[in-house]
Structure 1
Amino acid sequence: MPLFMDVHELGGEVSIDDVAKAHLADLQTQGRFDVRYLRYWVNESQGRIFCLAEAPSADAAATVHREAHGLVANEIFEVKEGS
């Protein structure tokens, strides 16, 4: 299954606790769309969030965010894992 990395730019600070709550909502929603969110990274002071997911398409990954909590990514990139 393809891997996708998405980038959220919130335009202000974000707390790791709020991102963790949104991630839990993703995990509860992802099965309906054949998506599996794997990891996320947060830059709290710059309000940037990066999410890694296995998904059949970028649209499927975006749909999980939209359905789970409404925070859609600014950009989504298909990526390949390296060492």
Structure 2
Amino acid sequence: MPLFMDVHHKVDGLTAEAVAGAHKRDLEVGPQYGVDYRRYWFDEGSGKVFCLVDAPDAETAVRVHQEAHGLLADELTPVQEGT
């Protein structure tokens, strides 16, 4: 399945608890679309968030974010895992 990294450049009011809650919602909604939001990274100071996601395609990854919490990424890039 394709792997993507999405980037949210500025999530206003970002906290560790808020991003954990959004990720939890992604995990709840994702399986019905064949999507797995695998990991996330964030910086509270800048409001920047990165999400690593397995999805059938980019549009489906976006759909899960939209349905789960409405926070759409500013960028979505196909990536490959390295060692």
User: TM-score surpassing 0.5?
Assistant: yes
Superposition TM-score, scaled by structure 1 size: 0.95
Query: Is the 2:11–2:49 Cα contact (8 Å) retained in structure 1?
Result: no
Query: Aligned ranges for residues 32-47 of structure 1 at < 5 Å?
Result: 32-47=32-47
1:14 to partner: Cα distance = 1.4
> How much is the aligned-residue C-alpha RMSD, in angstroms?
1.1
Superposition TM-score, scaled by structure 2 size: 0.95
Give unmatched runs, 5+ long, in structure 1. Answer: none
Alignment length (residue pairs) = 83
- The answer for the alignment partner of 1:9 in structure 2 is 9
Percent of matched pairs sharing the same residue:
48
- The answer for the alignment partner of 1:82 in structure 2 is 82
- The answer for the alignment partner of 2:30 in structure 1 is 30
Q: Could you give the per-residue CA deviations for residues 27-82 of structure 1, whole angstroms, max 9, x where no partner exists? A: 11001111011000001100000000100111111100000000010000000001
- The answer for the alignment partner of 1:20 in structure 2 is 20
Give unmatched runs, 5+ long, in structure 2. Answer: none
